[in-house]
Structure 1
Amino acid sequence: MKTVLLVINCLQGGGAERSVLTLGQGFYELGYDVHILRFKSLAEYDFNPNINYHVINFKPYKLIPASQLRYPLFARMVDKYVLDRIGQPDIVISNLFAADRIMAYSKLPNLIYVIRNTISNKFNLTDNHKTEQVVKKLRQIYESKPCVCVSKGVESDLQATLGSCITSTTIYNAFDKVSIEQLANEPFSYIHNALKTNQYLLHVGSFKPEKAHDVLLKAYANSSMAYPLVLLGKGKMLNQTKLLAKDLGLEDKIVFLEFNKNPYPFMKHARGFVLSSRSEGFVRVIPEALALNTPVVSTDCQSGPNEILPANNLVSVDDVAALASKMTKLMVDPQSFKVDFDERFLPKKIAQQYVDYLDS
């Protein structure tokens, strides 16, 4: 049996972490022995019984002051652990920069980096006086191994930022439609008690600048507000967003709910789903909503949405008036924003693309 190793810093609640778990399921369906290795024990998702889980704690290595020693030494320990406990993997897939900067020193074969964010935005390269130093550091990591980008927008940005020294392709995130549908059937009656209605618009995402909750709330305030707006997530800007809702007089129209490891019942029963992001890598919540036949309206941000949705479902970034108009239409006629789920996103098909990419 062939073995795949997926490496990520932790499994706290986020899109990348969910993507890693789903990709692992895809490799399991291909017949692989699947292992996930993380460097923090933190986990907020239920573990898939088809996957083997490992933790090597990076925290003690933070005491080594020099990064040129810290990461190579830890990578050596990672390699030893993998070879002793798992054996030599046929494929190693590193996810997110916290893992990539360690795995750059790994000697394990067939290693792929997955680029899940636009590099220029992630490292603020458009407004950073240390751009040249940062780009040099990133090239040292990413030019040595092939890179898989989760959207064409992410790949274009990677190539434009780091140059032709980078070997890359685009493979989208995987989405387990059957699992999403099953999880969506779990009860969640308490939301109806909070809303006092079973009709609402939904946004799912961390409270951070990229998600543009300020635009979302202002657009909602300028819409018909025929139905409540539910915000599902957590993050450093949550309290700031609550204050904005109060300033806009929306306390009775907006419901704030904490992060939920199973957002799918909320998606399934929503009248429509709204995304207001200024930037994305590949926005998971759109295919997830489509898997549940939920209509979607989104900003046409740098990468992701326009690779999934038609122009009718998109508005320009930071355009409050345009988003307000689309939200009003979404409340009146959600059917006009329905889009079929694309089965090319199924886990087994996505995992096979990784295999084919390495073979090529």
Structure 2
Amino acid sequence: MKKREDKNIELPSDMLEIIYKKLDFDELFQFGGVCEDWRKVHKYQREKVMKSRAPLVIQTSSYAKKIYFFFSISQQKIYSTKLANFWRLSYLGFSSGSVIMENYHSDKILIMNPFIRRKIEISTRSLICYPIPSSCSVTLAFVKGTLDFIIAFLCKRNFSLDIYDSRKSSWFTYARYGRPFMIADLVVLDHTMFFITNTAKIGALKFNRNHGKEQFLELKNAPNITSSALRLLTYEGNLLVVNFRPRIFLQVYKIDMIRMEWVKLEDLGDAALFLTAQRKCYTLSNSEMWGYERNHVYYINGECAKCFVYSMENELVKTFMPHSAVPVNSNSKSKLYWLDWCFPNVSDEIDYSIMQ
């Protein structure tokens, strides 16, 4: 076979940047393989382009469960990736730019970043219980300044938290069946992983065995809440606590990390909330710039291809559905549904020494 010569395709850099911004995910990856000049544009533009495409929804169909697409609600556009076809893999969640899937046939978990083609496999053979896809929330965070990572699987069905540490290539169980306490959610802020319990106690995750003596944050004005629906998010350098059930209750609190107190919010300013029934949730500042309404909740439940939009008074304002979607055989029982929010530009980092 004749070897292809790697010749630069000469186009003005500003024209290359315009072309690059209009490409699909697979086309973006192929763009960098054309020639040296195009690789430079790809390396320079990739991070900016990813930031300009958040947020997306991970979409699939019940007929072809292992084929995932990325859908932009604001642009009504589907982004596909050829790496999204994985048989025998169950979707667990999305975190730090990666899709996390489980293959219980081979006792492995696959961590795949579809935007930069990074792929990691880890063994689950030492786990006591496998993560349950329908009730699992996953948090992936890379160790600051290294290629190491930790990945935390929070299972709402058995109230367990299992953590994989790549530095030790091992798993350990942080909580099981609500002991030492029931953890409702996790989030990374300032290189530290924080958790919230079902009784609204907030603490920093520690990678040691003294979990029974966990030190919680001493916060003023803490509300009297007991709920497994509590969600922990980041918001303007602070923690945000959301207690939400559609049309039933919506409570939003900011954890002021300077004054160390709970502050009830009636207004989110220019931000919007992006929530799911079981998985990770997000806030988006300057939401109108991305085509989303400020001070609203965008909610998907994983049971249909709809996004429900609620006001801060917890009233249903409208419902989004895709104008174009994954082809579905009308004679089959297949239907479209949305799995999760996907924020390609959010990548969490932790400081390992803080969490010891």
Give the TM-score taking structure 2 as reference length: 0.27
Report the structure, 1 or 2, having the larger helix content. 1
TM-score by length of 1: 0.26
